Amino acid sequence: DAGVIQSPRHEVTEMGQEVTLRCKPISGHNSLFWYRQTMMRGLELLIYFNNNVPIDDSGMPEDRFSAKMPNASFSTLKIQPSEPRDSAVYFCASRRSDSGYTFGSGTRLTVV
Amino acid sequence: KQEVTQIPAALSVPEGENLVLNCSFTDSAIYNLQWFRQDPGKGLTSLLLIQSSQREQTSGRLNASLDKSSGRSTLYIAASQPGDSATYLCAVMNYGGSQGNLIFGKGTKLSVKP
């Protein structure tokens, strides 16, 4: 089991550019979550999927953020256009029903 | 709205001490509670998961307790070691949340001095 795999590990981009973060959940896990972590706000849920269907996207900060899960083994979080205040660590996590969460190593995003 | 608070925000102890980290939550209708460890610049590692029907879980030198009625959980670390230095995060999942999200505290940053 390779765990939850996120890519890239680090991303530095210029303001206004499109950023795409990727996540591969653990095989057999039916729920996938995108979190953002900042010093000021800690860990915040952005969106989660259950069986590839978005269930709650109330945490997505604004329309510049979008997430997709085209199949059970892949999800993307896209920011377009990116802004400096989007700089944070973005985590993906997955779980089975009645199990705990497993987190990926995160993507550290810096928007300059 | 569920809120999770962790006290203290930071803790420094000498090696070998037993210590307790505290977590409180405002809504006692939780499905489960999970403790995580986060090393600097790294992801979250799950330490212990306590279901709402359980009162404690143990793994090696770690013991986590849960008192739903008072909205509290503690993480006890026995015989602390420098390798235990990390940020410890508490997170709860509410009922109606069997497919729902975790609500995190801000964490306790632990430093164990040799």
pLDDT tens per residue across span B47-69: 999 999 999 999 999 999 999 99
Which pLDDT does position B98 carry in this prediction? 44
Give the residue with greater pLDDT, B2 vs B97: B2
Select the residue of A55, A56, A105 nearest B42 (Cβ to Cβ): A105
Asked if B40 reaches chain A (Cβ–Cβ under 8 Å), the answer is no
DSSP A85: G
Q: Are B102 and A91 an interchain contact pair (Cβ–Cβ within 8 Å)? A: no
Q: How far apart are CA B32 and CA B34, in angstroms?
A: 7
A42 contacts B105? CB cut-off 8 A: yes
Does residue A45 sit at the B interface (CB-CB below 8 Å)?
yes
Q: What would the two tokens of residue A22 be?
A: 């990727």
- The predicted structure's pLDDT at residue A94: 94
- Strand runs labelled E in A1-112: 5-7, 10-13, 19-24, 31-38, 42-50, 53-56, 65-71, 74-79, 88-95, 102-103, 107-111
Q: Are A100 and B98 a contacting pair at CB < 8 A?
A: no
For residue A91 the two structure tokens come to 């985590």
Average pLDDT of B74-101? 86
Q: What is the pLDDT averaged over residues B98-102?
A: 62
Closest approach of A103 to chain B, Cα-based (Å):
6
> Mapping DSSP to helix (H, G, I), strand (E, B) and coil, where does residue B84 land?
helix
Q: Please name the member of A48, A55, A104 whose beta carbon is closest to the beta carbon of B43.
A: A104
> For residue range B1-43, what is the model confidence (pLDDT) as tens digits?
889 999 999 999 999 999 999 999 999 989 899 999 999 888 8
Which residues are CB-contacts of A58 (< 8 A; sequence separation ≥ 6)? none
Amino acid of residue A41: R
Comparing B43 with B111, which gets the higher pLDDT?
B111
User: What pLDDT, in 10s, does the model give residues A9-36?
Assistant: 999 999 999 999 999 999 999 999 999 9
The whole-angstrom separation of Cα A66 and Cα A70 is 13
Is cis: bond before A84, omega within 30 of 0? no
CB contact under 8 A, B49 and A100: yes
